[in-house]
Amino acid sequence: MNLKTLTDHNLTNKKILVRVDLNVPIENGAISDSSRVVGIIPTIKYIQSVGGKTILISHFGRPNGSYFKEYSLIQVVPLLEELLNFPIKFSSEIIGENVKKTINSLQKGEILLLENTRFCPEEEMNDENFAEKLSSLGDIFCNDAFSASHRAHASTVGLAKFLPNCVGHHMKKEIDTLELVLKNPKKPLTAVVGGAKISSKLNLLLNLIKKVDYLVIGGGMANTFLFAQGIQIGNSLCEKDLKETSLEVMYTAKKNNCEIILPEDVVVASEFKANAKYNIKDLNNIKKDEMILDIGPSTCKKINEIFSISKTLIWNGPMGAFELEPFDNGTIDTSLCAGKLTESGKLISVAGGGDTVSALKKSKADKKFSYVSLAGGAFLEWMEGKSLPGIKCLL
Ligand code: AMP
């Protein structure tokens, strides 16, 4: 992909507007996962090293165009300072003369963080006037927020109209990795898709069956496929109205030489809660009041065998109700196998999208995968084959 990078511009003494994703999870008032902040450090350090001035721009949560203290980016300043070992200036205003003055007084290598852009309603409207005012704060626009690039907002798309642009180190790494696995993968290529529902991942499935050799379907969405094949699935989560759609997915997969792997045995329980009494069953005798909450051991074995003959793996979504023990077993067992194969150099493994990262963290497989994308919606849209507005505008 023909995107400019930071090294394509002379950054010395320039003001670089860097769109980052500081939308970090907060639990009990503290940042519970710093991965996104850690991810942007190389870009900031690079700009510092060549004597540029960094102006960080980000959204945080969904404040819907108004100020809310709990969505203020000032909360992220201490972590940024700790990771960079450098002081960060903070502007509570996003556009206007005061911000301009502060920015114009920045010295080479200094860093300023602007307040949450979503405090301005114009941000999510991609208002051109707002984007122009924002652009007047800098000389170059650098997008280092792949995870926000599926949104056409003023700070992701609008800015590109007014300034020379490039992608940051983190975004480049995300794009290069995703291109590697979906455009030029080492074959056989396997995709694992799990999670609750087919309806939210239908486009993803439709794109993957054209590209992958094996498609492993787990989690709640597998239930609809089993139901469509006439299997009694009791009280399991199921989208009965998608029966025909799932049969079409299976038919199209077959036409494209994509083998779909569905559960052959399952873990069932009558209650959706941690440590509920459970049974491991094949698919023939699931009772009316039972719910499928995880894949069973034979299915895990089969999936792991598919992994061992694959060269590349893409993973989105858990294999079961992974938040509730012991229904995390299937996700843990299979992700650990993928992690081990990756460590021994036999597999390239990439995972991403919302719950996937927390599911893989449970087994600590995230540390063993070749790459874990920090993007949720953007990762899914990329895997669906969509072109992301935040990337398209840079080309
Ligand atoms: P998603 O956001 O679509 O990736 O779905 C993740 C959610 O799917 C998690 O909260 C899981 O608990 C849930 N899930 C996975 N498998 C099942 C299942 N068999 N029954 C009910 N929920 C499930």
Atom number, ligand 1, closest to the C-alpha of residue 218:
16
245 CA distance to ligand 1 centroid (A)?
19
- The pLDDT value recorded for residue 355 is 81
Same domain, 162 and 304: no
Q: Is 318 close to ligand 1, i.e. is its CB under 6 Å away? A: yes
Same domain, 163 and 261: no
Same domain, 128 and 156: yes
- The pLDDT value recorded for residue 358 is 85
- The pLDDT value recorded for residue 310 is 98
Same domain, 137 and 213: no
With a CB cutoff of 8 Å and minimum separation 6, the contacts of 23 are: 36, 58, 59, 60, 61, 147, 148
Q: Is 174 close to ligand 1, i.e. is its CB under 6 Å away? A: no
- The pLDDT value recorded for residue 381 is 93
Report the distance separating Cα 341 and Cα 85, nearest Å: 37
Q: Is 36 one of the catalytic residues?
A: yes
Q: Is residue 176 part of a domain?
A: no
Distance separating the N- and C-terminal Cα atoms of the chain: 8
Q: Is residue 36 part of a domain?
A: yes
Q: Is 172 one of the catalytic residues?
A: no
- The pLDDT value recorded for residue 184 is 86
The residue ranges of the chain whose pLDDT is under 50 are none
Domain final position from 149, 171, 193: 171
User: Which one of 354, 361, 385, 386 is the catalytic residue?
Assistant: 354
Report the distance separating Cα 84 and Cα 73, nearest Å: 17
Domain final position from 142, 171, 200: 171
Q: Is residue 275 part of a domain?
A: yes
Same domain, 144 and 200: no
- The pLDDT value recorded for residue 1 is 82
Same domain, 152 and 256: no
- The pLDDT value recorded for residue 39 is 95
Same domain, 68 and 115: yes
Q: Is residue 126 part of a domain?
A: yes
Pick the closest to residue 289 from 235, 220, 233 (CA basis): 235
Same domain, 146 and 193: no
Atom number, ligand 1, closest to the C-alpha of residue 196:
8
Same domain, 339 and 377: yes
Q: Is 323 close to ligand 1, i.e. is its CB under 6 Å away? A: yes
Q: Is 65 one of the catalytic residues?
A: no
Same domain, 218 and 89: no
Q: Is residue 388 part of a domain?
A: no
Same domain, 189 and 167: no
Report the distance separating Cα 359 and Cα 305, nearest Å: 21
Q: Is 355 close to ligand 1, i.e. is its CB under 6 Å away? A: yes
Q: What's the domain range around 259? A: 185-383
CATH number at 232 reads 3.40.50.1260
Report the distance separating Cα 194 and Cα 355, nearest Å: 10
Same domain, 152 and 219: no
Domain final position from 171, 197, 229: 171
Count of domains in the chain?
Answer: 2
